[in-house]
Amino acid sequence: MQAAELSRTFGCVRKVYNLALQARTEAWTLRQDRVNYTATSAMLTAWKKTEELTYLCEVSSVPLQQALRHLQGAFANFWQKRAKYPTFKSRKKSRKSAEYTSSGFRFRDGRLTLAKMDQPLAIVWSRPLPDGAAPSTVTVSQDSAGRWFVSLLCDDWPTMPEPFHTAVGIDAGIAALVTLSTGEKITNPRHERKDREHLARAQRNLSRKAKGDGANRAKARVKVARIHARIADRRRDFLHKLTTRLVRENQTIVIEDLTVRNMLKNRTLARTIADAGWTELRSMLEYKASWYSRDLVVVDRWFPSSKLCSACGTLRGRMPLNVRKWTCVCGTTHDRDVNAAKNILAAGLAVAACGDGVRPQRSTPGGQSSTKQENVPPQRSRAAAQPRG
């Protein structure tokens, strides 16, 4: 019953989002008029009074209003050239979710009840909420594998680890996911390769099913989605544990500014690079360094970390990828990845001292470019949960 009610809410959220997007697009195309959130909110009230859209009154109005706010944010990103023009939500491809603010849910004694529902959600909690924290936003979603999730947003002050004076350089790779300047190599788990055969069988089974809305094809699609979800979950869990360890053990972390999008154009290595998750690794390091007041330095992508001798500074000529060890003219024999990590660390420390030789850091929402913060703001903590059924 709750699943049916939530599915109905997802459909109404998608419908309101698409109607508002169509209205805003037509207003600009025909009259060069910008329609804002206030105007679309008034439109929503009028839509509910029509015979065709009267079903919008059957679900909570809070997720519908939040859909309009999300659309407003999408247009703001478009006007500021941070994103492309908003697109319509698809019933089959778009993410199914509904967001409830404090007026749309009740959270008491660890039990969550959403608006328009008589019974609390049957939830399996991933972890308890911080002591004394009250959720300000609840997001209910369903992924392509059919799994249900509830995410609660609340303010939480992170536990600050003791400051360190250690620094580490990180070289991302394929055989070793990361190589540290200390000489440690962390093997790439290759999560996608472990399930590749299983995934191929499921995809072949899906391709044999006739296209349409048949039950057999839907079951085959869910099997494929579950395999993809299992791969993504294991990869994310591994990266979380790795990045948390690096941030807790080091005060300064130095990485390369890799252009993963361009690297994926290499047909030979694209699948392995995508499985490594370098972009997600960097993203986790960025926000965790901000949380724990660590320094994250990004070295220029054109810095010759692999070809530069970390002992004498001699720059070697061309070095193909199959060369894993090499000997410098000074007589030092280098492991390619360890040498690169040492050079990345040295370049990062030089950057921290004089601020030269790197590209600007990624901008934060507040407009600052550095990941170091003197006063760490409260961490926006999301406690995820999965309802039963």
pLDDT score for 385: 55
For residue 317, pLDDT beyond 70: yes
- Asked if residue 134 and residue 69 are part of one domain, the reply reads yes
pLDDT score for 198: 94
Of 99, 192, 256, 275, which residue is the catalytic one? 256
The answer to whether residue 50 sits within a structural domain is: yes
The answer to whether residue 366 sits within a structural domain is: no
The answer to whether residue 382 sits within a structural domain is: no
Active-site residue 256, yes or no?
yes
For residue 362, pLDDT beyond 70: no
The answer to whether residue 15 sits within a structural domain is: yes
For residue 185, pLDDT beyond 60: yes
- Asked if residue 205 and residue 143 are part of one domain, the reply reads no
pLDDT score for 372: 41
pLDDT digits (tens, 9 = 90+) for 251-294: 999 999 888 888 888 888 889 889 999 999 999 999 999 988 89
Q: Which of 156, 191, 212 is the last residue of a domain?
A: 156
Which helix (H) or strand (E) is 46 found in, with range?
Answer: helix 37-48
For residue 141, pLDDT beyond 60: yes
Of 171, 192, 275, 286, which residue is the catalytic one? 171
Active-site residue 26, yes or no?
no
Residue 304 · residue 344 · CB < 8 Å: no
First to last CA, the chain: 9
The Cα 202–Cα 224 span in angstroms is 6
The Cα 170–Cα 168 span in angstroms is 7
pLDDT score for 384: 53
For residue 124, the enclosing domain spans 2-156
The answer to whether residue 162 sits within a structural domain is: no
Active-site residue 99, yes or no?
no
For residue 379, pLDDT beyond 80: no
Tokens representing 119 are 């019974």
For the whole model, what pTM was predicted? 0.79
The answer to whether residue 384 sits within a structural domain is: no
Cα separations (Å) of 149 from 145, 388, 389?
11, 10, 11
- Asked if residue 230 and residue 122 are part of one domain, the reply reads no
Indicate the number of domains in the chain: 2
For residue 66, pLDDT beyond 70: yes
- Asked if residue 99 and residue 24 are part of one domain, the reply reads yes
- Asked if residue 29 and residue 142 are part of one domain, the reply reads yes
Percent of the chain with pLDDT over 70: 90
